[in-house]
Amino acid sequence: MIELLFEYLSKYIVLTEEEKFVISNGMVVEHYAKGQVLLKEGDISTAGFLILKGCVRQYYVVDGEEKTTAFFTEEQAVNFCNNPFTPLPSAFYIACLEDTSVISCDGGEVDEAVFIKYPRFEKICRLITEAELSNAKEEFATFIVSSPEERYLNLLATRPKLINRVPQHMLASYLGMTPESLSRIRKRVTKKAKTSSNTVKTSVFATT
């Protein structure tokens, strides 16, 4: 599975063989079962990880109701710590929706020692963090200005596999709507797609 990590890191920087060797010997692949809660509200953690395989959900509990705010799948980084300089109790939960394999990073003294010896590793972490923050800002901006149907269509265009990987009520929460509204939108979108497909076929036959 370490090759999956190298493939991901190659998007940001070209690693030397020595750096690959250090990563291979220093990184530990951890496995979590579906349903396992990795972080609870109130926990204090400096950890984070990169998902190699699987899917996890980030959610808040508001007045006893779960509000899904993010899904993380392969090649996505998950940060448990909301403030790396002064770790605070978490306001959210993180749980596995599938059996999940990750490479973890605890942000402790070991990592600092590695950064000192291999400063390019710190650069990699910075580049990944900047990319994740940029993506999060763009997703938030798109979410704010979009209608419920536009949010679903955007998800369908950018993360189509996610729709069949998570329960509909969680997907609806993530998109800011009720499960009933999501069901109606999915039916409407599917109907439009079929109508469009039939129109194209009719047009093709009419010209032959």
Residues of the chain with pLDDT > 70, as a percent, come to 86
Burial 58-94 (b: 16+ CB within 10 A, else e): bbeeeeeeeebeebbbeebbbbbbeeeeebeebebbb
For residue 200, is pLDDT > 80? no
Q: What is the mean pLDDT of the chain?
A: 84
pLDDT of residue 110: 47
For residue 205, is pLDDT > 80? no
CA geometry: angle 122, 123, 126, nearest 5 deg: 90
User: Residue 115's CB: how many other CB atoms inside 10 A?
Assistant: 15
Contacts of residue 159, defined as CB under 8 A and 6 or more positions apart, other chains included, come to: 71, 73
Domain 2-145 falls under CATH 2.60.120.10: yes
More confident residue, 208 or 164: 164
Name which of 24-33, 155-164, 171-180 the model is least confident about: 24-33
Q: What is the band of 109 on the pLDDT scale with cuts at 50, 70, 90?
A: very low
Pair 46, 80: CB distance under 8 Å? yes
Q: How far apart are CA 98 and CA 108, in angstroms?
A: 28
pTM: 0.79
The 10s digit of each residue's pLDDT in 30-60 is 999 999 999 999 998 877 788 999 999 999 9
> First CA to last CA across the chain, in angstroms?
52
